[in-house]
Amino acid sequence: MNIIIFGPPGAGKGTQSNFIVKKFNLVQLSTGNILRDEIKKKTQLGMEIDKEINLGKFVPDKIISKLVETFLSNKDYKNKIIFDGYPRNLWQANDLDKLLIKYEQKIDLALNLKTDIEIIKKRITGRYLCNKCGKIYNKYFNPPPKNKDCCSDEFLNKREDDNMDIAIKRFNIYMKETSPVLDFYKKKKLLKEINGESSIDQIYKEISDIIAVIEA
């Protein structure tokens, strides 16, 4: 089974992907992660990606396509992939279709975590990371435990890009780029809408129930 999970930044795609990977024995394909891995490996392609990012540019679709193809061509991952936030535009969606045909695979399900901008603002601006244990908290939805040595205020930090202006900008870019992609999968009758404003556990249960029906 291959699954795509959509949702604006802060909707919880990564969290739900991690749960799905563990429960259904899938492999997560996050374009952000594979881009960073390629840069770390210092390959020729990695250096090209690093140059584009340092110039403040988006990584070209054709470069993303090469990395996705490498992932799809791995026989160990065949029909076991959850695409986390990819494809992001119609070019990528059409390109993915071609790659899936090439490697004799298909998309079985596309999930969309529908989340309002006001919730996204709180999820992003309220996010804190504990530098000691690496856990992520949110002052609105999941505050750190009190009187705990590990996750006390002295260890909690915010990412520089977790601010209101960037949260709004990312949301608007996402909606503009991804809305046509959602229509693309809706026409294929593969899209399922999920209430991304529910609790993490409720979202996970709803997704699990949908996948269980498809697997049956």
Kindly report the CATH number assigned to the domain that includes residue 104: 3.40.50.300
Q: Does 211 fall in a domain?
A: yes
Residue 149 included in any domain? no
How far apart, in whole angstroms, are the C-alpha atoms of residue 134 and residue 131?
Answer: 6
Q: 194, 16 in Cβ contact below 8 A? A: no
Please report whether residue 143 resides in a domain.
Answer: no
Its pTM stands at: 0.84
Residue 18 lies in a domain: yes
What is the extent of the structural domain holding 42?
A: 3-116+176-215
Below-70 pLDDT ranges, the chain:
56, 147-148
Can you give the pLDDT at residue 56? 64
pLDDT of residue 24: 94
Q: How many domains does the chain have?
A: 1
- Does residue 129 sit within a domain? no
Per-residue pLDDT tens for 24-39? 999 999 888 888 888 8
Its sign, for the CA torsion 139, 143, 148, 149, is negative
Does any domain span residue 140? Answer: no
| Residue 28 in domain | yes
